[in-house]
Structure formats: structure tokens, C-alpha cells
A and B are shown apart, each in its own frame.
Chain A
Amino acid sequence: MAYSATADEHHDEHHDGPAPGLMRWVTTTNHKDLGTLYLWFSLIMFFVGGSMALVIRAELFQPGLSLVQPEFFNQMTTMHALIMIFGAVMPAFVGLANWLLPMMIGAPDMALPRVNNWGFWILPFAFTLLLSTLFMPGGAPASGWTMYPPLVLQTGEAFPFLILSIHLMGISSIMGAINIVATILNMRAPGMDLMKMPLFVWSWLITAYLLIAVMPVLAGAVTMLLTDKYFGTAFFTAAGGGDPVLFQHIFWFFGHPEVYILILPAFGIVSHIIPAFCRKPLFGKASMVYAMAAIAFLSFIVWAHHMFTVGMPLAAALFFMFATMLIAVPTGVKIFNWLATMWRSAMTFETPMLFALGFVFMFTIGGLSGLMLAIVPADFQYHDSYFVVAHFHYVLVPGSVFAIMAGVYFWLPKWTGVMYNETLGKLHFWLTTIFVNLTFFPMHFIGLAGMPRRIPDYALQFTTFNQMATIGAIGFGLSQLIFLYIVIQSARRAGEKASDRVWEGTEGLEFELSSPPAYHTFTTPPTVR
């Protein structure tokens, strides 16, 4: 693709800098500022959720309760999941979208800037509400992030706060998603037709539709929980004629597309980074788009594979098994396309590429264990065991989180105008990779050997692998301090000046801009040829 910049933003953009002082961040409607806010918020939540994971792992270091009571342990598993999913991974992707989508499609800003501001500023309130439950009588929610009734209805005073914070997160996500769809469909530069759009834009267009489709479903489910608890309804209470399994169906109708909300933008990011450091165009771009669309469609008809053990009719179990297995096909296409991109390319291995390669490597492991989980008879053994914990952490940590970090390393010099410390970046990658595998790989073994998930204490034969996992988790957590240091250094503009192209093999409109870009970019749209 070729571009011509019709406006030279270097001397055309003297007006409208950021407002001075702290109010800049409260009142801003600038996509770059909001992207920054989202990313910082996500990083803070990553450390908050991570410290909860360390409480979990510390308790599981040896058999017997050694640090916390079981009820607090359950609060930690619940809060860790809610914070990592809704507070760390999703806002990180929205932050990347905010920074990048307008620059990638040649738009001056997001289509709905005020909605954008509101969407972000809901989040600190939502998570303050959620975290405040830790200090309430009865403690934080302890029913697992899946909130299955009747157990969740035993939550104490935290219950309405949990529901309200989930509503707020949902509103924030829906507003972000509407904004992204509106931006992509209306604000592309002339000549940028849909199939010319970069893959990160494509991945977010699909993700945004998933969000709009399923967040209201979650809102409905948790509202029914609320009325069951306080207003005498019996949607999910068997004693009142309700159906506890109905909740699981509704929840996972949200939950499975949610899983892809957490991974599709990662596919997009990796599809930018691999070609850049391979110095070779992405293999099969069109099929990458079709694969993502196919995955998104399938995500709506596989939800019950999260609940094969509830006891469903044979025909239903077979349907959900076959549909789930089908997802392996488009996912395989994506992996193979990345491999084909690497084949006969000229690779270099800067930090973003290392994280992207780590992503492909370890996401493959997570994807393959996912295929094993689809096989219903075997799933009866895997279900709710540590095998599942290993599986979804492989797709979420070396999957989504690695892709986010790859993206940050890739575009951070563009955003700040300075290169980060490459040696430290590589050290961060290697330590993270070693520890992430030390943490999560042994979980496959203890799961297969019969250790259920969400237990605060375990039988003696599981000790060795739990100890490995705990050592890995502590190492993983400490390694992220390197990342924090690197990001802070870049934010302080400490480092060598980055070029406009940043990396040798980059392509795309965002790399036509200066590093750092002006506060307002593409006020006159570029023409894409």
C-alpha cells in the first residue's frame, strides 16, 4: 500500500495543544490522552490483580493452610479474575485502540470523543467499588468470577457492589465498542477501503461487535441475580421454580465471546509486529480477516462447552463438541499464516518481535490444550481441574498479555518519541517467558493428576508442581517491575530519539507521522492509494 500525506502535520498543527495541569487528564477528549489513561489504568490493575495472584500462589506453596483462611482465598481467586479480565486486559486493548485506530485509518480522532472520555472515567469508579468490597463485612465476592448461583447469592454486603461495578464495566465497554465501530466505519481516510484496513483495525472492528452483542447479556444475567437476592424473584432459585443452570447458559453466552474479545485484538497486534520484523508482507491477509470473522461467529454457538458437566442431552453435548472443535480450523489458519510470514523472511529479534514470537509459540500450546478440552468424554476429567487453569492462563498470559506487551514495545517509541532500553526489554522478555512457563506448565500435570481448581489446600501428591508454580509466579511478578521501569523511563522521555518509522520494516499510516505525533494528527485526511 502507498500513502501520500496531503497535509504536512509538522507546521500545520500549531493550535490546540493539551490543556495545562491535571485537568488535562480529567477533561480530555483526545484519543491519544485517553489511550494513555487507559494504558496506565490497565497497568495499575495488572499489578493489583497480580498481587492477588501472588496471595493465591503463596497459600498454595505447601499443603495445609499457611497464610489465609479459605474464604479469603476464594475472594482472591474471584477478584484476581475480575480485575485481570475487566481491569487489565480489556482496558489495555481499548487503550491501544484509542492510540492507534485513528492514526492507522487516517482519522483526526475517535468519532465520539466525549463518549470516549466518559467511557474511560467510569472505570476508576467501577474498580473502586469492586475493590472496596475487600473491606466490607463478609469480605469481597468469593463465588468465582463466573458468579454461579446459588453460591453467589450467599455473598454478603459486597453483593450489590459487585453487580453495580459489573454494570459500570459493561457500560464502559459498550461505549468504547460503539465508538470504535463508529470510528472505523465512518472516519477512514479516502481510499482506505475495508480490505485495505490494517489487521489491528479489523480485529477491533470484530471485537467491538462482539462486545456490543454480549455485554448487555451479562448485564441482564447479573440484574437477574440482583432481583433474585433482593426483590423476591426466582430466576435461578430452584425452590421458587427457577433454574440455576439457566444462569450458566446466559453467563457463558456472554462468556465465550468474551474469551475472544480478550484474544482477537492480540491477533491483530501480532499480525502487525511479525511482518515488520520479518521484512515481508503478512501472508494471507484476507484469510486472516475471514478467520477472525469465523472465530467470532463460532464464539456464539459454543458456550455450553464451559458446562458439559451440568448434565445436558446427548444431542446438545455433541453439537457443542463439534462446534467447539471447528474453532481449531480458523485458529490453525492464523497460526499457519504467521508461520508462512516468517518463512524465507529476514528476521530480527527486537523486544516486540520476541514477545510476538513468544505469543505464537505459547498461544499454540494454549490453543491445542483447548482442542483437548473440546472432547466431551475427556472434558469430564479436565473440567474444573488445574488442566483448565493451565489452558486459559496459556491463552491469556503468554497469549493476550504477551501481545499487549509486544504492542507496547512496538508502538511506545512512536508515542513517546524515544527508544526504550532494548537490553532491559530483552531481559524482561526472557525472564517473563521462563517464569510464565514455570508457573503454568506444571498446572497441566496437577490437573490431569486430579487436582480441582479453586481449592485453598491440596493433597500431598500435588506439592512439587505447586511449589514450582509458586516460584514461577513470584519470578513472573518481579519481572514485571522491569516493564514498569521501562515504561516510566519512556514516559519521562529518557532515551535515544526514535525515528518516524521507529523500526526498519514498519508499514502503516501511524509510521508516516512524526515520533512523537502531534497532539492532533490527520486533521486533513491523507489519501491512501
Chain B
Amino acid sequence: MLEEYWTYVLIVVAGFVATDFWRWLGVLAGNRLNEESEALNWVRAVATALVMAVTAKLIVFPTGVLADSPLWLRLAAAGIGFCVFLATGKKVAVGVIVPIAILVAGLFLLEG
């Protein structure tokens, strides 16, 4: 009985509170920032660098099935894809389809 509820206590304390605490602090901090302010420029830079760090880690250190694929293939797919995206007028669809196509083709060739 206690065991059953314990998981929910964990979810609320070590999950919800542990995560939303930072979201609430973010609201309180962000609420003091003016849209034109210098501080917001810095916060924006921090948030962008942070999100891109998470993103790059997904490519360099993936979990699951991609963990077994060669790093050069993932880097080539993302790198070439980004260059094609830049060269063809920055269409998000291009930036998504090209790297996925390279990755899938590479996985197929390596498998066969």
C-alpha cells in the first residue's frame, strides 16, 4: 500500500518539484526583464547556448540504437545537411530531410 503511493511521492517531489522549481524561478526572473533590456540579451544567449549544447550532445553521444552507429556518419549527416540548408535558402524542411536521408542511406550501406 505504502509502496504503491511511494512512487507518486517520488514523482511529485523528485520529479515535479525538482523541475518546476526552476521554471518558477524562470518566471520570477523573466518577469523583471524588459524586452529591450541588455539582461534579456544575455539570458537569451545563455538559453540558446544551453539548448544547442543539449542538441549537439544528442548527435555526438546518442542513446539507444544510434549509439552503435559510427560518429562520423552522424556528424557528416548533420554537417552536410546544415550546409545544404544554408545554401538553399534556409528552409527547415531541407534542414531536416537531407541529414535524415544521409543517415538512413549510411545505416543501410553499413548494414549491407
- Do A and B bind? no
The residues of A with any CB-CB pair to B shorter than 8 Å are none
B-to-A contact residues, CB < 8 Å: none
